[in-house]
Chain A
Amino acid sequence: MTISRCEYDFQAARLRLEAKPKSAGEKLTTLDEAAARVKDGDSLAFGGCLFSRTPLALIRALLRRRPTGLTISRNLMCYEGEWCMVAGAVDKVVTSWMGIGLPWGLSKIVREYVESGRVPMEEWSHLALGLRFRAAAMGVPFLPSLTMLGSGLVDVGGSKTIDCPYTGQKLLAVPALFPDVALLHVHRADRFGNCQIDGYPHMDADIAKAAATVLVTAEEIVPEEEIRLHPDRTVIPGFIVDALVHVPYGSYPHECYGLYDAEPDHFSVYVDSINQRGAAGVQDYLERYVYGPATHADYLALFGEAALADARRRGRELVT
Protein backbone atom coordinates (compact mmCIF):
# COMPACT_ATOMS: atom_id res chain seq x y z
CA MET A 1 0.00 0.00 0.00
CA THR A 2 1.26 3.50 -0.70
CA ILE A 3 0.29 6.63 1.14
CA SER A 4 -1.22 9.23 -1.14
CA ARG A 5 0.71 12.49 -1.24
CA CYS A 6 -2.37 14.56 -0.40
CA GLU A 7 -2.46 12.87 2.99
CA TYR A 8 0.82 14.43 4.10
CA ASP A 9 0.98 17.48 1.80
CA PHE A 10 1.15 20.11 4.54
CA GLN A 11 1.44 23.00 2.10
CA ALA A 12 -1.72 22.09 0.20
CA ALA A 13 -3.51 21.46 3.50
CA ARG A 14 -2.43 24.85 4.78
CA LEU A 15 -3.53 26.68 1.63
CA ARG A 16 -6.90 24.97 1.90
CA LEU A 17 -7.24 26.19 5.47
CA GLU A 18 -6.09 29.70 4.59
CA ALA A 19 -8.82 29.92 1.94
CA LYS A 20 -11.50 28.83 4.38
CA PRO A 21 -13.48 31.40 6.40
CA LYS A 22 -12.62 31.16 10.09
CA SER A 23 -16.06 32.20 11.18
CA ALA A 24 -16.82 33.17 14.76
CA GLY A 25 -20.48 33.12 13.83
CA GLU A 26 -23.34 30.73 14.37
CA LYS A 27 -22.67 27.13 13.27
CA LEU A 28 -25.95 25.46 14.20
CA THR A 29 -27.55 23.44 11.46
CA THR A 30 -29.30 20.12 10.83
CA LEU A 31 -27.87 16.60 10.60
CA ASP A 32 -28.80 16.40 6.92
CA GLU A 33 -27.19 19.72 6.08
CA ALA A 34 -24.02 18.78 7.98
CA ALA A 35 -23.81 15.37 6.29
CA ALA A 36 -24.31 17.02 2.89
CA ARG A 37 -20.88 18.62 3.28
CA VAL A 38 -19.26 15.23 2.70
CA LYS A 39 -18.56 14.62 -0.99
CA ASP A 40 -18.06 11.26 -2.69
CA GLY A 41 -14.40 10.31 -2.62
CA ASP A 42 -13.62 12.32 0.53
CA SER A 43 -11.36 11.00 3.25
CA LEU A 44 -13.06 11.11 6.64
CA ALA A 45 -11.86 10.81 10.21
CA PHE A 46 -14.30 9.70 12.89
CA GLY A 47 -13.84 10.94 16.45
CA GLY A 48 -14.21 8.98 19.67
CA CYS A 49 -12.78 5.49 19.94
CA LEU A 50 -14.31 2.03 19.60
CA PHE A 51 -17.76 2.34 21.22
CA SER A 52 -16.96 5.55 23.05
CA ARG A 53 -18.34 8.88 21.77
CA THR A 54 -18.70 7.63 18.19
CA PRO A 55 -20.48 10.27 16.05
CA LEU A 56 -23.12 7.69 15.11
CA ALA A 57 -25.96 10.13 14.40
CA LEU A 58 -23.75 11.95 11.88
CA ILE A 59 -22.57 8.68 10.33
CA ARG A 60 -26.17 7.50 9.95
CA ALA A 61 -27.13 10.81 8.33
CA LEU A 62 -24.17 10.46 6.01
CA LEU A 63 -24.99 6.87 5.00
CA ARG A 64 -28.59 7.89 4.19
CA ARG A 65 -27.08 9.99 1.40
CA ARG A 66 -25.58 6.80 -0.10
CA PRO A 67 -22.03 8.16 -0.45
CA THR A 68 -19.35 6.27 -2.38
CA GLY A 69 -15.58 6.14 -2.64
CA LEU A 70 -14.89 7.32 0.91
CA THR A 71 -11.76 6.61 2.92
CA ILE A 72 -12.51 6.34 6.63
CA SER A 73 -9.98 6.52 9.44
CA ARG A 74 -10.26 5.84 13.14
CA ASN A 75 -7.94 4.22 15.67
CA LEU A 76 -10.36 1.62 16.90
CA MET A 77 -12.99 1.18 14.22
CA CYS A 78 -16.19 -0.27 15.63
CA TYR A 79 -19.27 -1.42 13.72
CA GLU A 80 -19.69 1.97 12.00
CA GLY A 81 -16.84 0.73 9.79
CA GLU A 82 -18.82 -2.44 9.01
CA TRP A 83 -21.85 -0.31 8.07
CA CYS A 84 -19.72 1.73 5.67
CA MET A 85 -18.34 -1.44 4.07
CA VAL A 86 -21.72 -3.11 3.60
CA ALA A 87 -23.35 0.15 2.45
CA GLY A 88 -20.75 0.30 -0.34
CA ALA A 89 -19.56 3.68 0.91
CA VAL A 90 -15.84 3.04 1.43
CA ASP A 91 -12.87 2.24 -0.77
CA LYS A 92 -10.37 2.10 2.08
CA VAL A 93 -10.25 1.80 5.87
CA VAL A 94 -7.35 3.32 7.81
CA THR A 95 -7.14 1.98 11.36
CA SER A 96 -5.10 0.34 14.11
CA TRP A 97 -7.75 -2.19 15.06
CA MET A 98 -11.19 -3.12 13.83
CA GLY A 99 -13.87 -5.12 15.62
CA ILE A 100 -16.55 -4.48 18.21
CA GLY A 101 -14.67 -5.50 21.33
CA LEU A 102 -13.00 -8.60 22.69
CA PRO A 103 -16.17 -10.39 23.86
CA TRP A 104 -17.55 -10.37 20.30
CA GLY A 105 -14.55 -12.00 18.60
CA LEU A 106 -13.31 -11.25 15.11
CA SER A 107 -15.42 -9.10 12.79
CA LYS A 108 -17.00 -11.38 10.18
CA ILE A 109 -17.60 -8.33 7.98
CA VAL A 110 -13.93 -7.31 8.10
CA ARG A 111 -13.04 -10.89 7.27
CA GLU A 112 -15.44 -10.98 4.31
CA TYR A 113 -14.51 -7.58 2.87
CA VAL A 114 -10.76 -7.53 3.55
CA GLU A 115 -9.98 -11.18 2.81
CA SER A 116 -11.74 -10.89 -0.56
CA GLY A 117 -9.87 -7.67 -1.34
CA ARG A 118 -13.09 -5.62 -1.67
CA VAL A 119 -11.99 -3.03 0.89
CA PRO A 120 -8.29 -2.69 1.72
CA MET A 121 -7.43 -2.03 5.35
CA GLU A 122 -4.41 0.17 5.99
CA GLU A 123 -3.03 -0.74 9.40
CA TRP A 124 -1.00 1.40 11.81
CA SER A 125 -0.20 1.14 15.49
CA HIS A 126 -2.26 3.33 17.84
CA LEU A 127 0.57 5.76 18.43
CA ALA A 128 1.48 5.97 14.76
CA LEU A 129 -2.08 6.76 13.68
CA GLY A 130 -2.42 9.20 16.58
CA LEU A 131 0.80 10.89 15.47
CA ARG A 132 -0.51 11.08 11.89
CA PHE A 133 -3.41 13.22 13.13
CA ARG A 134 -1.10 15.17 15.45
CA ALA A 135 1.41 15.91 12.66
CA ALA A 136 -1.48 17.21 10.57
CA ALA A 137 -2.80 19.22 13.53
CA MET A 138 0.70 20.70 13.89
CA GLY A 139 0.88 21.53 10.18
CA VAL A 140 3.97 19.42 9.48
CA PRO A 141 4.40 16.56 6.97
CA PHE A 142 5.56 13.96 9.50
CA LEU A 143 6.62 13.34 13.08
CA PRO A 144 9.57 11.24 14.17
CA SER A 145 8.76 8.24 16.34
CA LEU A 146 10.38 5.17 17.86
CA THR A 147 7.37 2.96 17.33
CA MET A 148 6.53 0.37 14.63
CA LEU A 149 10.20 -0.03 13.64
CA GLY A 150 11.18 -3.60 12.83
CA SER A 151 7.58 -4.69 12.36
CA GLY A 152 5.68 -5.62 9.22
CA LEU A 153 3.52 -2.53 9.68
CA VAL A 154 6.29 -0.31 8.31
CA ASP A 155 6.19 -2.07 4.95
CA VAL A 156 2.46 -2.55 4.50
CA GLY A 157 1.60 0.99 5.60
CA GLY A 158 4.13 2.49 3.23
CA SER A 159 5.83 4.55 5.94
CA LYS A 160 9.48 5.55 5.74
CA THR A 161 12.40 5.81 8.11
CA ILE A 162 14.80 8.72 8.46
CA ASP A 163 18.15 9.28 10.09
CA CYS A 164 17.89 11.78 12.94
CA PRO A 165 19.77 14.93 11.82
CA TYR A 166 21.18 15.35 15.35
CA THR A 167 21.92 11.84 16.64
CA GLY A 168 22.05 9.83 13.43
CA GLN A 169 19.59 7.41 14.99
CA LYS A 170 17.10 5.64 12.73
CA LEU A 171 13.55 6.92 13.32
CA LEU A 172 10.14 6.20 11.85
CA ALA A 173 8.82 9.23 9.96
CA VAL A 174 5.10 8.97 10.64
CA PRO A 175 3.31 10.78 7.79
CA ALA A 176 0.65 13.38 8.52
CA LEU A 177 -2.95 12.52 7.73
CA PHE A 178 -5.02 15.51 6.66
CA PRO A 179 -8.64 14.27 6.35
CA ASP A 180 -11.10 16.16 4.18
CA VAL A 181 -13.76 15.96 6.86
CA ALA A 182 -13.78 15.25 10.59
CA LEU A 183 -16.97 13.86 12.14
CA LEU A 184 -17.04 14.39 15.90
CA HIS A 185 -19.44 14.06 18.82
CA VAL A 186 -18.89 16.18 21.95
CA HIS A 187 -20.57 16.76 25.28
CA ARG A 188 -21.36 20.45 24.89
CA ALA A 189 -20.84 23.39 22.60
CA ASP A 190 -22.14 26.93 22.29
CA ARG A 191 -23.86 27.92 19.07
CA PHE A 192 -20.56 29.22 17.69
CA GLY A 193 -19.02 25.74 17.84
CA ASN A 194 -16.76 26.10 20.88
CA CYS A 195 -16.65 22.48 22.02
CA GLN A 196 -16.06 20.87 25.40
CA ILE A 197 -15.48 17.15 26.00
CA ASP A 198 -15.79 15.39 29.35
CA GLY A 199 -13.80 12.29 30.28
CA TYR A 200 -11.26 10.80 27.93
CA PRO A 201 -10.51 13.19 25.08
CA HIS A 202 -9.32 10.44 22.71
CA MET A 203 -7.78 12.30 19.75
CA ASP A 204 -10.72 14.46 18.71
CA ALA A 205 -8.92 17.78 19.15
CA ASP A 206 -6.05 16.66 16.89
CA ILE A 207 -8.52 15.33 14.30
CA ALA A 208 -10.45 18.62 14.32
CA LYS A 209 -7.27 20.61 13.66
CA ALA A 210 -6.10 18.11 11.02
CA ALA A 211 -9.27 18.18 8.91
CA ALA A 212 -10.29 20.68 6.24
CA THR A 213 -13.95 20.58 7.28
CA VAL A 214 -15.19 19.87 10.81
CA LEU A 215 -18.70 18.57 11.52
CA VAL A 216 -19.75 18.30 15.16
CA THR A 217 -22.76 16.96 16.99
CA ALA A 218 -23.19 17.95 20.63
CA GLU A 219 -25.24 16.43 23.43
CA GLU A 220 -26.00 19.91 24.69
CA ILE A 221 -25.93 23.44 23.27
CA VAL A 222 -25.09 25.83 26.10
CA PRO A 223 -25.03 29.64 26.30
CA GLU A 224 -21.79 31.27 25.22
CA GLU A 225 -21.28 32.55 28.81
CA GLU A 226 -21.09 28.98 30.09
CA ILE A 227 -18.18 28.23 27.74
CA ARG A 228 -16.48 31.51 28.62
CA LEU A 229 -16.77 30.78 32.33
CA HIS A 230 -14.86 27.50 31.85
CA PRO A 231 -12.59 28.07 28.84
CA ASP A 232 -10.11 25.56 30.27
CA ARG A 233 -12.57 22.85 29.31
CA THR A 234 -12.78 23.92 25.65
CA VAL A 235 -10.81 21.55 23.41
CA ILE A 236 -12.00 22.73 19.98
CA PRO A 237 -12.43 26.47 19.34
CA GLY A 238 -15.42 27.61 17.31
CA PHE A 239 -13.48 29.10 14.40
CA ILE A 240 -12.33 25.56 13.49
CA VAL A 241 -15.88 24.19 13.33
CA ASP A 242 -17.96 24.33 10.14
CA ALA A 243 -21.23 22.77 11.19
CA LEU A 244 -22.74 22.02 14.58
CA VAL A 245 -25.87 19.99 15.31
CA HIS A 246 -27.66 19.55 18.61
CA VAL A 247 -28.06 15.76 18.96
CA PRO A 248 -28.77 14.34 22.42
CA TYR A 249 -27.80 10.64 22.49
CA GLY A 250 -25.71 11.39 19.41
CA SER A 251 -23.48 8.36 19.93
CA TYR A 252 -26.10 6.00 21.37
CA PRO A 253 -25.99 2.93 21.66
CA HIS A 254 -22.29 3.67 22.08
CA GLU A 255 -21.34 5.44 25.30
CA CYS A 256 -20.85 9.10 26.10
CA TYR A 257 -18.68 9.59 29.18
CA GLY A 258 -20.70 10.44 32.28
CA LEU A 259 -23.94 10.82 30.33
CA TYR A 260 -24.91 7.34 29.18
CA ASP A 261 -23.44 3.84 29.11
CA ALA A 262 -23.10 1.68 26.00
CA GLU A 263 -25.52 -1.17 25.21
CA PRO A 264 -23.45 -4.37 24.92
CA ASP A 265 -26.67 -6.42 24.57
CA HIS A 266 -27.49 -4.44 21.43
CA PHE A 267 -24.00 -5.24 20.07
CA SER A 268 -24.60 -8.94 20.81
CA VAL A 269 -27.89 -8.99 18.89
CA TYR A 270 -26.15 -7.24 15.99
CA VAL A 271 -23.27 -9.74 16.00
CA ASP A 272 -25.65 -12.71 16.28
CA SER A 273 -27.45 -11.56 13.15
CA ILE A 274 -24.12 -11.30 11.30
CA ASN A 275 -23.07 -14.73 12.52
CA GLN A 276 -26.26 -16.11 11.04
CA ARG A 277 -26.57 -14.03 7.87
CA GLY A 278 -23.23 -12.31 7.19
CA ALA A 279 -23.43 -8.99 5.39
CA ALA A 280 -27.18 -9.47 4.93
CA GLY A 281 -27.46 -9.09 8.72
CA VAL A 282 -25.77 -5.69 8.47
CA GLN A 283 -28.04 -4.77 5.55
CA ASP A 284 -31.09 -5.52 7.71
CA TYR A 285 -29.62 -3.46 10.51
CA LEU A 286 -29.00 -0.55 8.13
CA GLU A 287 -32.61 -0.71 6.91
CA ARG A 288 -33.96 -0.70 10.46
CA TYR A 289 -31.64 1.73 12.22
CA VAL A 290 -29.99 3.85 9.52
CA TYR A 291 -32.20 4.22 6.43
CA GLY A 292 -35.53 3.64 8.19
CA PRO A 293 -35.98 6.32 10.87
CA ALA A 294 -36.79 9.70 9.30
CA THR A 295 -35.49 11.70 12.26
CA HIS A 296 -33.16 11.20 15.21
CA ALA A 297 -36.21 11.11 17.48
CA ASP A 298 -37.65 8.27 15.39
CA TYR A 299 -34.33 6.50 15.73
CA LEU A 300 -34.29 6.85 19.53
CA ALA A 301 -37.91 5.64 19.64
CA LEU A 302 -36.69 2.27 18.32
CA PHE A 303 -34.89 1.81 21.64
CA GLY A 304 -37.59 3.34 23.84
CA GLU A 305 -37.48 5.82 26.68
CA ALA A 306 -36.90 3.20 29.36
CA ALA A 307 -33.70 1.97 27.70
CA LEU A 308 -32.41 5.52 27.26
CA ALA A 309 -33.17 6.39 30.88
CA ASP A 310 -31.44 3.24 32.07
CA ALA A 311 -28.35 3.96 29.96
CA ARG A 312 -28.33 7.46 31.45
CA ARG A 313 -28.57 6.13 35.00
CA ARG A 314 -25.71 3.65 34.40
CA GLY A 315 -23.63 6.33 32.74
CA ARG A 316 -23.89 8.57 35.77
CA GLU A 317 -23.15 5.74 38.20
CA LEU A 318 -20.01 4.72 36.31
CA VAL A 319 -18.29 8.02 37.00
CA THR A 320 -19.41 8.55 40.59
Chain B
Amino acid sequence: MGARELKDNTTVFAGVGAPMMASGLAQRMHAPGLTMVIEGGIVGPKWKPGSLPISTNEMRAAYRAQMLPGITDAFLLAQRGFLDVGFIGGAQIDRYGNLNTSAIGGSYDRPKVRLPGSGGANDIISLCRAVIILTAHEKRRFSETVDFITSPGWLIGGDSRRASGLLFGGVSRVVTTLGLFGFEPESRRMRLEALHPGVSVDDVKAATGFEVLVSDQLTATKPPTDEELGILRMLDPARQFIG
Protein backbone atom coordinates (compact mmCIF):
# COMPACT_ATOMS: atom_id res chain seq x y z
CA MET B 1 0.00 0.00 0.00
CA GLY B 2 2.89 2.28 0.85
CA ALA B 3 4.53 1.55 -2.49
CA ARG B 4 1.47 2.68 -4.43
CA GLU B 5 1.64 6.09 -2.79
CA LEU B 6 5.07 6.72 -4.33
CA LYS B 7 5.14 8.37 -7.75
CA ASP B 8 7.83 8.14 -10.40
CA ASN B 9 10.57 10.80 -10.42
CA THR B 10 10.01 11.76 -6.81
CA THR B 11 12.15 11.42 -3.73
CA VAL B 12 11.43 9.41 -0.59
CA PHE B 13 13.06 9.39 2.84
CA ALA B 14 12.88 5.71 3.70
CA GLY B 15 13.65 3.79 6.86
CA VAL B 16 14.51 0.12 7.21
CA GLY B 17 11.79 -2.52 7.32
CA ALA B 18 8.42 -1.83 5.71
CA PRO B 19 9.34 1.62 4.25
CA MET B 20 12.36 0.14 2.55
CA MET B 21 10.31 -2.73 1.11
CA ALA B 22 7.67 -0.28 -0.15
CA SER B 23 10.30 1.93 -1.77
CA GLY B 24 12.10 -1.01 -3.36
CA LEU B 25 8.80 -2.34 -4.67
CA ALA B 26 7.73 1.03 -6.13
CA GLN B 27 11.13 1.36 -7.84
CA ARG B 28 10.63 -1.96 -9.59
CA MET B 29 6.94 -1.42 -10.45
CA HIS B 30 5.85 2.04 -11.54
CA ALA B 31 8.58 4.35 -10.22
CA PRO B 32 12.00 3.51 -11.71
CA GLY B 33 12.91 7.17 -11.24
CA LEU B 34 12.28 7.12 -7.49
CA THR B 35 15.27 8.32 -5.47
CA MET B 36 15.62 7.00 -1.93
CA VAL B 37 17.39 8.96 0.78
CA ILE B 38 18.40 7.02 3.88
CA GLU B 39 19.07 8.36 7.39
CA GLY B 40 22.58 7.00 7.46
CA GLY B 41 23.49 9.71 4.97
CA ILE B 42 22.87 7.76 1.80
CA VAL B 43 21.38 9.06 -1.46
CA GLY B 44 20.00 6.84 -4.22
CA PRO B 45 21.00 3.28 -3.25
CA LYS B 46 19.95 0.27 -5.35
CA TRP B 47 19.63 -2.47 -2.81
CA LYS B 48 20.75 -5.96 -3.69
CA PRO B 49 17.96 -8.54 -3.57
CA GLY B 50 18.53 -10.96 -0.70
CA SER B 51 20.87 -8.52 0.99
CA LEU B 52 18.55 -5.95 2.52
CA PRO B 53 19.80 -3.69 5.30
CA ILE B 54 18.84 -4.17 8.95
CA SER B 55 19.97 -0.64 9.79
CA THR B 56 20.13 2.71 8.03
CA ASN B 57 23.85 2.87 8.74
CA GLU B 58 25.31 -0.20 7.19
CA MET B 59 26.90 -1.27 3.93
CA ARG B 60 23.77 -2.99 2.61
CA ALA B 61 21.87 0.30 2.94
CA ALA B 62 24.52 2.10 0.89
CA TYR B 63 24.81 -0.44 -1.92
CA ARG B 64 25.27 1.23 -5.32
CA ALA B 65 24.34 4.65 -3.91
CA GLN B 66 24.81 7.81 -5.95
CA MET B 67 26.24 9.77 -3.08
CA LEU B 68 27.16 9.40 0.58
CA PRO B 69 26.79 12.90 2.03
CA GLY B 70 26.69 12.00 5.73
CA ILE B 71 23.78 12.13 8.14
CA THR B 72 23.49 15.86 8.78
CA ASP B 73 23.60 16.73 5.09
CA ALA B 74 21.06 14.04 4.20
CA PHE B 75 18.59 15.67 6.61
CA LEU B 76 19.47 19.14 5.35
CA LEU B 77 18.25 17.96 1.92
CA ALA B 78 14.89 17.40 3.64
CA GLN B 79 15.01 20.78 5.37
CA ARG B 80 15.65 22.44 2.00
CA GLY B 81 12.51 20.75 0.64
CA PHE B 82 14.01 18.15 -1.68
CA LEU B 83 12.15 15.22 -0.10
CA ASP B 84 8.66 14.61 -1.44
CA VAL B 85 7.63 11.79 0.85
CA GLY B 86 8.86 10.51 4.19
CA PHE B 87 8.03 7.10 5.59
CA ILE B 88 8.03 6.49 9.32
CA GLY B 89 6.59 4.15 11.94
CA GLY B 90 5.81 4.72 15.59
CA ALA B 91 5.12 3.02 18.89
CA GLN B 92 2.16 5.22 19.83
CA ILE B 93 -0.01 7.41 17.58
CA ASP B 94 -2.93 9.74 18.29
CA ARG B 95 -5.79 11.04 16.10
CA TYR B 96 -3.66 13.90 14.79
CA GLY B 97 -0.82 11.62 13.68
CA ASN B 98 1.49 12.65 16.52
CA LEU B 99 3.96 9.88 17.25
CA ASN B 100 5.69 8.75 20.39
CA THR B 101 8.87 6.69 20.21
CA SER B 102 10.45 8.12 23.38
CA ALA B 103 8.76 7.20 26.62
CA ILE B 104 5.55 5.49 27.74
CA GLY B 105 3.94 5.95 31.15
CA GLY B 106 5.31 7.72 34.23
CA SER B 107 7.12 10.97 33.48
CA TYR B 108 9.51 11.61 30.59
CA ASP B 109 12.49 11.53 32.94
CA ARG B 110 11.28 8.46 34.84
CA PRO B 111 9.10 6.63 32.32
CA LYS B 112 7.51 3.25 32.72
CA VAL B 113 9.04 2.19 29.40
CA ARG B 114 11.94 4.00 27.80
CA LEU B 115 11.79 3.61 24.01
CA PRO B 116 14.81 4.16 21.69
CA GLY B 117 14.00 7.79 20.83
CA SER B 118 13.36 9.90 17.78
CA GLY B 119 16.20 8.92 15.53
CA GLY B 120 15.38 10.76 12.32
CA ALA B 121 11.60 10.38 12.63
CA ASN B 122 11.12 13.86 14.05
CA ASP B 123 13.13 15.39 11.19
CA ILE B 124 11.33 13.37 8.53
CA ILE B 125 7.86 14.33 9.80
CA SER B 126 8.94 17.96 10.35
CA LEU B 127 10.70 18.52 7.04
CA CYS B 128 9.41 16.25 4.25
CA ARG B 129 6.63 17.55 2.02
CA ALA B 130 4.31 14.66 2.83
CA VAL B 131 4.63 11.85 5.33
CA ILE B 132 3.20 8.36 5.30
CA ILE B 133 3.07 6.53 8.59
CA LEU B 134 3.24 2.76 8.35
CA THR B 135 2.19 0.92 11.49
CA ALA B 136 0.51 -2.16 12.92
CA HIS B 137 -3.06 -1.35 13.95
CA GLU B 138 -3.46 -2.19 17.63
CA LYS B 139 -5.50 -0.52 20.36
CA ARG B 140 -2.44 0.10 22.52
CA ARG B 141 -0.76 1.98 19.65
CA PHE B 142 -3.78 3.98 18.48
CA SER B 143 -4.13 5.98 21.63
CA GLU B 144 -6.44 8.81 22.77
CA THR B 145 -3.33 10.84 23.56
CA VAL B 146 0.35 10.08 23.17
CA ASP B 147 2.42 10.24 26.35
CA PHE B 148 5.05 12.33 24.60
CA ILE B 149 5.21 13.95 21.15
CA THR B 150 8.49 12.69 19.69
CA SER B 151 7.45 13.37 16.10
CA PRO B 152 4.81 16.06 15.50
CA GLY B 153 1.86 15.25 13.27
CA TRP B 154 -0.92 17.84 13.18
CA LEU B 155 -0.38 18.54 16.94
CA ILE B 156 -3.84 19.53 18.27
CA GLY B 157 -5.35 19.96 14.82
CA GLY B 158 -6.52 23.05 12.97
CA ASP B 159 -3.54 25.28 12.19
CA SER B 160 -1.60 24.29 15.34
CA ARG B 161 1.17 22.64 13.33
CA ARG B 162 1.85 25.78 11.27
CA ALA B 163 1.58 27.93 14.41
CA SER B 164 4.31 25.87 16.09
CA GLY B 165 6.74 26.95 13.37
CA LEU B 166 6.47 23.85 11.20
CA LEU B 167 5.75 25.67 7.97
CA PHE B 168 5.83 22.76 5.59
CA GLY B 169 4.47 19.29 5.06
CA GLY B 170 2.49 17.24 7.53
CA VAL B 171 1.18 13.72 7.77
CA SER B 172 -0.83 12.81 4.71
CA ARG B 173 -1.51 9.11 5.17
CA VAL B 174 -1.51 6.44 7.82
CA VAL B 175 -1.30 2.93 6.40
CA THR B 176 -2.10 0.26 8.94
CA THR B 177 -2.70 -3.47 8.98
CA LEU B 178 -6.45 -2.74 8.84
CA GLY B 179 -6.79 0.10 6.36
CA LEU B 180 -5.79 3.44 4.98
CA PHE B 181 -6.34 6.77 6.75
CA GLY B 182 -6.18 10.39 5.69
CA PHE B 183 -6.83 13.58 7.68
CA GLU B 184 -9.85 15.89 7.56
CA PRO B 185 -8.70 19.09 5.85
CA GLU B 186 -9.93 21.49 8.57
CA SER B 187 -9.80 19.63 11.87
CA ARG B 188 -6.80 17.48 10.83
CA ARG B 189 -8.34 14.52 12.59
CA MET B 190 -7.50 11.06 11.30
CA ARG B 191 -10.21 9.65 9.01
CA LEU B 192 -10.63 6.15 7.65
CA GLU B 193 -10.46 6.33 3.83
CA ALA B 194 -10.21 2.67 2.84
CA LEU B 195 -10.43 -0.77 4.39
CA HIS B 196 -8.23 -3.72 3.57
CA PRO B 197 -10.14 -6.73 2.18
CA GLY B 198 -12.08 -8.61 4.87
CA VAL B 199 -11.84 -5.78 7.43
CA SER B 200 -14.96 -3.96 8.70
CA VAL B 201 -15.35 -0.47 10.16
CA ASP B 202 -16.21 -2.15 13.48
CA ASP B 203 -12.89 -4.03 13.39
CA VAL B 204 -11.09 -0.68 13.03
CA LYS B 205 -13.14 0.88 15.85
CA ALA B 206 -12.37 -2.05 18.12
CA ALA B 207 -8.64 -1.64 17.51
CA THR B 208 -8.54 2.15 17.95
CA GLY B 209 -8.32 4.04 21.22
CA PHE B 210 -9.92 7.22 19.85
CA GLU B 211 -13.13 7.98 17.95
CA VAL B 212 -12.81 6.75 14.36
CA LEU B 213 -14.02 9.16 11.70
CA VAL B 214 -15.09 7.47 8.47
CA SER B 215 -14.92 9.06 5.03
CA ASP B 216 -18.15 9.47 3.04
CA GLN B 217 -16.31 7.86 0.17
CA LEU B 218 -14.98 4.85 2.05
CA THR B 219 -13.36 2.46 -0.39
CA ALA B 220 -11.53 -0.84 -0.24
CA THR B 221 -7.82 -1.22 -0.86
CA LYS B 222 -6.72 -3.54 -3.61
CA PRO B 223 -4.85 -6.57 -2.33
CA PRO B 224 -1.27 -6.97 -3.48
CA THR B 225 -1.02 -8.40 -6.99
CA ASP B 226 0.96 -11.50 -7.86
CA GLU B 227 3.52 -9.26 -9.51
CA GLU B 228 3.92 -7.10 -6.37
CA LEU B 229 4.23 -10.16 -4.15
CA GLY B 230 6.75 -11.67 -6.56
CA ILE B 231 8.95 -8.57 -6.37
CA LEU B 232 8.73 -8.46 -2.57
CA ARG B 233 9.73 -12.13 -2.39
CA MET B 234 12.57 -11.54 -4.84
CA LEU B 235 13.87 -8.64 -2.74
CA ASP B 236 13.49 -10.57 0.50
CA PRO B 237 13.85 -14.28 -0.26
CA ALA B 238 14.56 -15.16 3.38
CA ARG B 239 11.30 -13.39 4.42
CA GLN B 240 13.13 -11.30 7.00
CA PHE B 241 10.95 -8.28 6.35
CA ILE B 242 7.78 -9.41 4.59
CA GLY B 243 7.00 -12.21 7.07
Contacts and interface: CB of A to CB of B under 8 A. Distances in A.
Interface of A: 1, 49-52, 75-76, 95-99, 101-103, 106-107, 110-111, 114-117, 120-121, 123-128, 130-131, 133-134, 145-153, 156, 161, 169-172, 199-203, 205-206, 255, 257-258, 261-262, 264, 315, 318-319
Interface of B: 16-17, 39-42, 51, 54-60, 62-63, 68-72, 75-76, 78-79, 102, 106, 108-123, 126-127, 148-152, 155, 160-161, 164-168
B195 to A, nearest CB: 28
A258 B58 CA distance: 10
Contacts of B122: 125-126, 128, 147-148, 151, 153
A206 B112 CA distance: 35
A89 B80 CA distance: 39
A49 B40 contact: yes
Given A151-B122, A156-B108, A172-B165, 7 more contacts: A75-B71, A123-B117, A126-B122, A127-B72, A130-B72, A130-B75, A152-B108
A150 B155 contact: yes
A1 B106 CA distance: 16
B164 A150 contact: yes
B136 to A, nearest CB: 14
B37 to A, nearest CB: 12
B112 A96 contact: no
Contact of A202 (B70, B112, B126): B70
A101 B122 CA distance: 18
B56 to A, nearest CB: 8
Chain A CB within 10 Å, residue with most, of B59, B120, B149: B59
27 contacts: A49-B71, A76-B119, A102-B54, A106-B114, A106-B115, A106-B116, A115-B110, A115-B111, A116-B110, A120-B109, A121-B117, A125-B121, A125-B126, A126-B122, A127-B72, A127-B123, A130-B72, A146-B167, A150-B126, A151-B126, A199-B62, A200-B70, A201-B69, A202-B40, A205-B70, A318-B51, A318-B59
Nearest to B108: A156
Closest 10 CB pairs of A and B: A150-B164, A130-B72, A149-B165, A125-B122, A127-B75, A170-B165, A97-B119, A318-B59, A150-B152, A126-B120
A150 B127 contact: no
A115 B114 CA distance: 6
Contacts, number: 192
Nearest to A117: B110
Contacts of A117: 109-110
B49 to A, nearest CB: 14
Contacts of A111: 113-114
B59 A257 contact: yes
Contact of A121 (B55, B114, B152): B114
Given A127-B76, A200-B41, A147 B123 contact: yes
A196 to B, nearest CB: 14
Contacts of B119: 76, 96-97, 125-126
